[in-house]
Structure 1
Amino acid sequence: MFETITVATDARGVATLTLNRPEKHNAMSAMMIAELTQAAGQLGKDDTVRVVVLTGAGKTFCAGGDLGWMRDQMAADSATRFTEARKLAEMLQALNTLPKPLIGALQGNAFGGGVGLAAVCDVAIGVNSLKMGLTETKLGLIPATIGPYVTARMGEARARRVFMSARLFDANEAVDLGLLTKAISSVDLGDAVEVEILPYLSCAPGAVTSAKELVRQLGPRIDDAVIDQTITALVQRWETPEAQEGISAFFDKRKPVWKT
């Protein structure tokens, strides 16, 4: 049914949504963005699903946006760029508003959009060997569409520590920043996720859905106006000479002009 993700639901109603492009470090292509949006819609409407676990196949949870997809945006016209940016933003919002508990099981590194995926989870647990980073500015880009979720999770003060510098940080700092709930060994990841799952199986599913909706309403505002703002910011950044230089330098395997 899907080509870039898998979805499997056990007898308890626990669905595991797996990013399944391990050869590409689970980078988000146009197809993966579309399939994640579709899967979120299907899981949200499935009354047999009680909890969703988001994880990745292979060594990397998610390396962010597929660079081939980003290069396509550099060559596109403005209308196409807005359309593609909106698809990305709508995928993140579909996961953020999923009416089921969403538990992130980060079995490996998360960069760029991968950090955004962690941020839309209600709980995110990562292996203590992983690295994370909002790496967009290295390419002349910005963490735009993921920005509302990252900032909501970390708070502005902590977000400013890592939002602009593109520096990598380890799992312990990710816990301190609020991106991860806990960092544990890879052999314990499954058990730690199970600890998060079990309480929900004793709760009224409708009450869980209502409680999640309420807590989102009480938190930072992420509505259509905010999402439109991030889409505009991303498209404007795609259209800058810096972005052209950053993407070109990456594919040419050279330093961009600003790197010393």
Structure 2
Amino acid sequence: MSDTTLTIEERPVTGGVATWVWMNRPEVHNAFNAQVIAELTEAFQALSQTERVRVVILAGRGKSFSAGADLDWMKAAGAASEAENREDAMRLAEMLAAIATCRKPTIARVHGAALGGGMGLACACDICVASERAQFGTTEVRFGIIPSAISPYVLRAIGPRQALRYFQTGERIPAARALALGIAHEVAPETELDSVIDGLIAELVKGGPNALWEAKSLVAAVAHQPIDAALRAETAARIARVRATPEAREGLAAFLEKRPARWIAES
């Protein structure tokens, strides 16, 4: 993607490619503006529908993952009307949704700062791998605003009790604390980030491509629901539908025949 705020890199993996989406504005710590938002939305929507893509990794060039919103973009928002701000916020919300609902497993590769919207990006991904020196934070209140668009994804990661603290204090969250809170799944030295991610990719591609999406969809459907008759019926219907797919039949046949499943064997 030339002349854009992103660079896209494909690396071969079993059964297809792992696609690395690099935010490429190192001079502003990958802060995002309207162009970044539009391009991330477009990229994740396209990758979601690209069959050869097995995993998507979101990363940042330079010293930071993403320091949040671009200052010029924020100044423009401050001068805009409420209606214009609503439209702008909706575009940000749609970008985060495109990441969160991508049909491929998504991994955030976080080094340096992941602040404000940058923390939202990390939490919107399925898995977050952070360097030991990474710093997270919902710093919006220090600018007189709130972490509204990112809140569903941050709350999903840390829960409302912790959000009450960090949404109001705006304090920095070091990597070790981020791991304990549930923001990060793995923390490693920056020099080992890619090897940790490669290990995760190797595990992810062992799963059937459709099953990975169905598992992701299952979490969204079941989380925080009461365990009642409706939920039991929902989960039964989901497994019954998935069991009937060609992928599931192939997975069972491969297991019984003691051979790799087709999505592993074909590369």
Q: Does the TM-score normalized on the shorter chain lie above 0.5?
A: yes
Deviations 1:105-137 (A, max 9, x none): 112211100110110111101110122111100
1:152–1:220 CA contact under 8 A, matched in 2: no
Q: Which residue is equivalent to 1:230?
A: none
Q: Which residue is equivalent to 1:87?
A: 91
Deviations 1:53-98 (A, max 9, x none): 1110001000001111111111112221111110001000110101
Displacement of 1:209: 1.0
Structure 2 unaligned regions, length at least 5: 226-267
Q: Secondary structure at the match of 1:59?
A: coil
Q: How many residues align?
A: 221
Q: Which residue is equivalent to 1:236?
A: none
Query: Are residue 178 (structure 1) and residue 179 (structure 2) matched?
Result: no
RMSD, aligned CA: 1.2
Q: Which residue is equivalent to 1:5?
A: 6
1:150 to 150, 154, 163: 154
Counterparts of 1:51 and 1:140 in 2: how far apart (Å)? 37
Q: Secondary structure at the match of 2:65?
A: strand
Q: Which residue is equivalent to 2:77?
A: 73
Counterparts of 1:31 and 1:5 in 2: how far apart (Å)? 10
Q: Which residue is equivalent to 2:139?
A: 135
Query: Are residue 191 (structure 1) and residue 195 (structure 2) matched?
Result: yes
Query: Are residue 25 (structure 1) and residue 29 (structure 2) matched?
Result: yes
Counterparts of 2:218 and 2:176 in 1: how far apart (Å)? 30
Counterparts of 2:84 and 2:187 in 1: how far apart (Å)? 39
Displacement of 1:138: 0.5
Length-normalised TM-score, structure 2: 0.80
Structure 1 unaligned regions, length at least 5: 222-260
Q: Secondary structure at the match of 1:35?
A: helix
1:29–1:66 CA contact under 8 A, matched in 2: yes
| Correspondences of 1:28-39 after superposition (within 5 Å) | 28-39=32-43
Pick which of 152-161 and 41-50 moved more.
152-161
1:152–1:219 CA contact under 8 A, matched in 2: no
Counterparts of 2:206 and 2:128 in 1: how far apart (Å)? 21
